[in-house]
Structure 1
């Protein structure tokens, strides 16, 4: 059984309790220094103080990460270039991807363009790192024999909706991230029973995802109220992750060959919707709309052939 652990306190002090080279994956969503209220602390430091804080926790993250480990770091536009510099030049990590998380709704502005994305930096400790592409592929839009039936690389622009206040999984936290977003990182950059660390676990999304994906996980959190909220969240029955890349629900066009279509449709839910029960009905409906008549004709044809023997 996997182990999910939450520790309360200052992130730098809690990092000191973690052994060198002991963590397989770090997913970090630190405060963006925008003045948000996190209950028992305010996200607002002086410019140099914030950079110093960032440098300290990233140094600790580098220390505890295994040689084949990966770190994902969420960050707003003002400081992301500085974090890139720390990871790249000061720590000598290997840049992998600059991921754009695109969401459909966000802050409205009357002067200038409204922001509709967050950035996520992905760095590896060495050039020998874990990356499970088959676990995070997305269905093809058009099926071709030369394509991988398992799907395509999702790319570096990820479209996941915010966890809206009407969502039953919405927590009392100002920066809750969608579970589907964390699911992709965990599946891509770790294996079952390995160790994941979230040094700013907030609403507990990373811990909830790791709980369901059979990863061990440690979360650090300064606010004890958020820890109690996360524990309650972890105790609830699981019915499926609260968000999904909409491409996971699509049915490839041109699945005209009977044998190929049968093989693909038999595997789609296992490959793409295993932890998204709410999307299965939508997928099945799309199959019916796209291939229903053809499937029915082929079933009748097969039944007729059987009756001849």
Structure 2
């Protein structure tokens, strides 16, 4: 089946369109809703009265819980001003189960002259069941700093602080959207909390990042947006040839120290590309350059120089 046929874009109000979806039909919700910070989203302005915004959030989250499977998960991006209220709705009102508070750290952001410039966004992860939920840790591990036989060389847990660059306006994948998020953020959440052919939903699809990641990782996807221009933007993005996700955790290119055994070193180099760079072919050359810097002289002695030609 063509990858585009596995993805559905819906133009409409998130709450009303969520009501049309069957209960317990979605394995994962990953979404970046409006933060109520007066952003310009074309045909809508992100500026509601406090009570109206909280009620808006409550209504879409009620529907989100309904459509999630019993082992489903929701990730919600949210700015600091309202995140505590979203947390309260999810836990105290809807009875969902808190799992993680993820901090997305970035090195560049809004500059302030009175007060401290913000350098992070937050992501809440809640599950419908406290223990029975999908989580594929092996799909999202990051390379170890050192090779040790006692380590899991498949990699380490990435932790709850994630460093990814902002979507700079010079990025070739930058869309005409005010709050576009890096694909690698969605890659990690979608790989961790869903399986191939699972249905993933983004009720505020915006520039289409969630559906682009679903497309490339073998998931089914539904994206909803009230702005028809964003729906068209998403469709165009899905038709763009894929050469790798537009961002990467810099740790994915890390080469462990102490890979001194030639056989272990060769197996690890081959596995690293499959484990950590599967959706980042444009990063393989950087990884191999790091391998060469760290182990090139040893690989010359062990006759492993052909690895640089093969990969």
Matched, 1:245 2:249: yes
Unpaired runs of 5+ in structure 1? Answer: 301-309
Q: TM-score, normalised by structure 1?
A: 0.96
Look up the SS of the partner of 2:302 in the other structure.
Answer: helix
Distance 1:26 1:45 in 2: 24
How big is each residue's C-alpha offset from its partner over 1:71-122, in whole Å with a ceiling of 9 and x where there is no partner?
A: 0000000000000001111111111000000011000011111000000000
Aligned with residue 68 of structure 1, among 58, 68, 71:
71
What number of residue pairs does the alignment pair up? 300
Distance 2:281 2:83 in 1: 35
Post-superposition shift, 1:263?
1.2
The corresponding residue for 1:192 is 196
Q: For residues 111-260 of structure 1, what are the structure 2 equivalents within 5 Å?
A: 111-127=114-130, 128-260=132-264
Look up the SS of the partner of 1:33 in the other structure.
Answer: coil
Please, what is the CA RMSD of the aligned residues?
0.8
Bigger CA radius of gyration: 1
Distance 1:196 1:266 in 2: 31
How big is each residue's C-alpha offset from its partner over 1:39-67, in whole Å with a ceiling of 9 and x where there is no partner?
A: 00000000000000000000000000000
Matched, 1:17 2:20: yes
Distance 2:93 2:185 in 1: 28
Distance 2:231 2:223 in 1: 9
How big is each residue's C-alpha offset from its partner over 1:177-223, in whole Å with a ceiling of 9 and x where there is no partner?
A: 00000000000000000000000000000000000001000000000
Q: For residues 39-118 of structure 1, what are the structure 2 equivalents within 5 Å?
A: 39-118=42-121
How big is each residue's C-alpha offset from its partner over 1:260-283, in whole Å with a ceiling of 9 and x where there is no partner?
A: 111111111110001111111000
Distance 1:265 1:194 in 2: 31
The corresponding residue for 2:309 is none
The runs of at least 4 consecutive aligned structure 1 residues that moved more than 3 Å come to none
Distance 1:133 1:119 in 2: 20
The corresponding residue for 1:307 is none
Distance 2:216 2:16 in 1: 28
Q: For residues 28-43 of structure 1, what are the structure 2 equivalents within 5 Å?
A: 28-43=31-46
Distance 2:144 2:107 in 1: 22
Q: TM-score, normalised by structure 2?
A: 0.95
Unpaired runs of 5+ in structure 2? Answer: 305-311
Distance 1:43 1:13 in 2: 18
Distance 2:96 2:145 in 1: 35
Look up the SS of the partner of 1:299 in the other structure.
Answer: coil
Post-superposition shift, 1:244?
0.3
